[in-house]
Structure 1
């Protein structure tokens, strides 16, 4: 390995550590002080960088608060793409969503994950950004399901309906977990899996050739 390549790798790792540090520090401050009361100067100070340097990594506080959600969005899309090509759309999407939930619980802990979601839901600016991000992710998943099924998502509504139903069930499962005293990862996975199964109970694994029916 050349010296320049090694230095480039070191710089990339340092940038990633700084970015991760900003996300962790920002979320900690948001949960402790509240989103509106936290300043960019305070977040930057937690990782010993200047506010000017902060903007090399993020456009603002909103990007910090939504960063982990964006990473999980990428994870669920990648998980869907990694499912076997011949697997029907419903089980493929179910597996991908639960893989994302399992990763989020393992990396953050259920309590912190739920507290962050609650923060987003009660903060209008973050809620709007989160809804935009969720809509974009649903579009990506819809396109992937349509590709797997060999259909046009503009002419065949089933990929979009399937993704919408599963994501509505994901939200309901998360709300049920917020009301549950347990903070065990397996309990969250169980509740979300149950919500997805209830929501999709009438959707067959193998689709009809007619786009007007399953």
Structure 2
């Protein structure tokens, strides 16, 4: 559900750094998917990316950091998606439509493989939980900003927490099924929520 976007670097040095960063990330994720996260070493990543181990550490401090760098833009993408929604839209509609607008815009061919890698690797799953907590805070603030409300507005916080809960459930359902996309479960979950609160 995300597109790996980075700001465009200026100058030759900046472009080379961005290219090296992307190459390390790409080669590392390829190796993680082929061999497994635990079985892949930093030396193997450096060799595949054609950099020294020392150079690799200029870009990433750990294997975990490489994996989570593929999702680094996710909070900003959610914030942008909320910003595109009509300000007078009800909160629950706003967050549901923003999430699915974002999903439609930012499909990523290997998203399921990467999500499964994180979900099934204990060393990564705890960090993924922390990511969801950050996204929830960003989402609550984005909703409050779009509505012109104070940042700690309780309705925005509850809506954000609910939406992130649905997002996690939708991801779990997506990984458990080879046929159903996360959007199908997500839409069903939002509909069920409306029946419960309606």
- TM-score, normalised by the number of residues in structure 2: 0.83
Deviation at 1:178, TM superposition (A): 2.2
Q: Indicate the residue corresponding to 2:174 in structure 1.
A: 177
1:61-102 CA deviation, whole Å, 9 max, x = no partner?
A: 111111122222321122212323333322222222123333
Once residues 45 and 102 of structure 2 are traced to their aligned partners in structure 1, the CA distance between those partners, rounded to angstroms, is: 27
Tell me if structure 1 keeps the 8 A contact 2:75–2:138. no
Q: Does 1:139 find its partner at 2:141?
A: no
Do the aligned partners of residues 29 and 203 (structure 1) sit closer, same or farther apart at CA in structure 2, a change above 3 Å counting? same
Tell me if structure 2 keeps the 8 A contact 1:141–1:163. yes
Secondary structure of the corresponding residue to residue 33 of structure 2: helix
Secondary structure of the corresponding residue to residue 70 of structure 1: coil
The gaps in structure 1 that reach 5 residues or longer are 1-6, 205-214
Flag the structure with more relative contact order, 1 or 2, with Cα contacts below 8 A and sequence separation at least 6.
Answer: 2
The gaps in structure 2 that reach 5 residues or longer are 1-8
Q: Indicate the residue corresponding to 1:193 in structure 2.
A: 187
Do the aligned partners of residues 151 and 157 (structure 1) sit closer, same or farther apart at CA in structure 2, a change above 3 Å counting? same
Tell me if structure 1 keeps the 8 A contact 2:88–2:147. no
Q: Indicate the residue corresponding to 1:149 in structure 2.
A: 147
> Of 82, 92, 100, which aligns to 1:98?
100
Tell me if structure 2 keeps the 8 A contact 1:76–1:99. no
Do the aligned partners of residues 124 and 80 (structure 1) sit closer, same or farther apart at CA in structure 2, a change above 3 Å counting? same
Q: Indicate the residue corresponding to 2:118 in structure 1.
A: 120
Once residues 190 and 21 of structure 2 are traced to their aligned partners in structure 1, the CA distance between those partners, rounded to angstroms, is: 34
Q: Indicate the residue corresponding to 1:73 in structure 2.
A: 75
Deviation at 1:45, TM superposition (A): 1.4
Greater mean deviation of Cα atoms: 53-62 or 85-94? 85-94
RMSD value, Cα? 2.4
Q: Indicate the residue corresponding to 1:84 in structure 2.
A: 86
- TM-score, normalised by the number of residues in structure 1: 0.77
Q: How many residues align?
A: 190
Tell me if structure 1 keeps the 8 A contact 2:100–2:183. yes
Once residues 193 and 12 of structure 2 are traced to their aligned partners in structure 1, the CA distance between those partners, rounded to angstroms, is: 47
Deviating beyond 6 angstroms after TM superposition, the runs of 4 or more aligned structure 1 residues are none
Do the aligned partners of residues 99 and 52 (structure 1) sit closer, same or farther apart at CA in structure 2, a change above 3 Å counting? farther
Tell me if structure 1 keeps the 8 A contact 2:87–2:147. no
